[in-house]
Each structure stands twice: as C-alpha cells, then as structure tokens.
Amino acid sequence: MALNLTINTNNLPLGALLAAEHVKDSVPVSVEEGKDNRLHVSDAIQFNDVNSISRYLARLAPALGLYGSNMMEQTEIDHWLEFSARHLCGQPGLAEALGELDLALSLRTFLVGHAVTLADLSVWAALKGHEGWPSQGKSFSHINRWFSFLSSQVPFSAVGNKYANKKA
C-alpha cells in the first residue's frame, strides 16, 4: 500500500502534514507538491479535505492513539476538528473562538485525554496558519502555554520548520 500526499504550497494542509509526520514510522506516506491537497489511497479512493486526510491516517495507526482511546475521546476529537475548521480557519469572530479555546485548555495539557491527539494537531495547525493568531493571541495565557509547548515537540517543530516558513 503506497500512500501519496499531494500538497498545494499556497494552501498548506498543515494538519494533514502533521498527521503524516506523526504516523510516518507505522504508515509511510510520500509527500509531493502539486496543484491541490489530496491523499491518494488508490485510484478509486482519494481524500481532499484536511480533516478527512488526518482522520484516515490516524485510523491506520491506532496504536499511536491519535484518535483517542475510547468513544468519549473520539467524540471530543471530532468536536475539535470541526471547531478548527469552522471557527479558526479564516472566519471572523476569532477572539470569541480563542476565548472558548482558552477556557477549555485551562485545566488541560492536551485538548483531549492525557496525550497528543488529532484535536491538538488540527487546532495547532489552524492557529499556526492563521494571520490573526500571533497578534490576537497575547491575552490567552492557556493557549499560549499549550501552543508553545506543542511547537517545541519534535513532529511539530519538524513540520513548522519544513513548511510553515515557506509561506513567508
């Protein structure tokens, strides 16, 4: 099974790249640049939504626990995937969404459970790629702690260095 991820450098799928980086030891994925964001599974099956790609990759490597360890956690993860797509990706009302996120993170080190999951990848990627994040983020101390902690961890720093700086 050869998985191939095509990425559009003008519209980087950071969340999908992070998921690919996390699972790379159990699920090899080749990455190349192209016209659009697409995970090629077979000629019949292809995904082009960032969250769909991340979900698929996480499910291929269940031992890593990226999709949580029980149904409750899976539901929470789905919540955060939708939250990042609906409230953090370019829409207005960022401050309100950040307020909600900050409150959720006040008693948590990771968004769901006690280890890194797709929820962290997706929300981190949405903020990393958001123009309004660094300037509006100053007053949200819990988000800042969580964001800089993840940024210092290996798969995040690897993806950040390799791709996120290309945009600038």
Q: Give the footprint of other proteins on residues 78-117 (CB under 8 A).
A: 103-104, 106-109, 114
* Smallest distance, other proteins to C-beta of residue 133, A: 17
Closest approach, Cβ 44 to other proteins, in A, equals 40
Task: Report whether 39 contacts 46 (CB < 8 A).
Answer: yes
Sequence-distant (6+) residues with CB within 8 A of 74 are 67, 68
Which residues are 31's β-sheet partners? 5
For strands 46-47 and 29-33, give the pairing: unpaired
Residue numbers 5-24 binding other proteins by CB under 8 A: none
**CB atoms inside a 10 Å sphere around CB 84:** 25
By CB under 8 A, tell whether 153 contacts other proteins. Answer: yes
Binding site for other proteins (CB under 8 A): 103-104, 106-109, 114, 141, 144-146, 148-149, 152-153
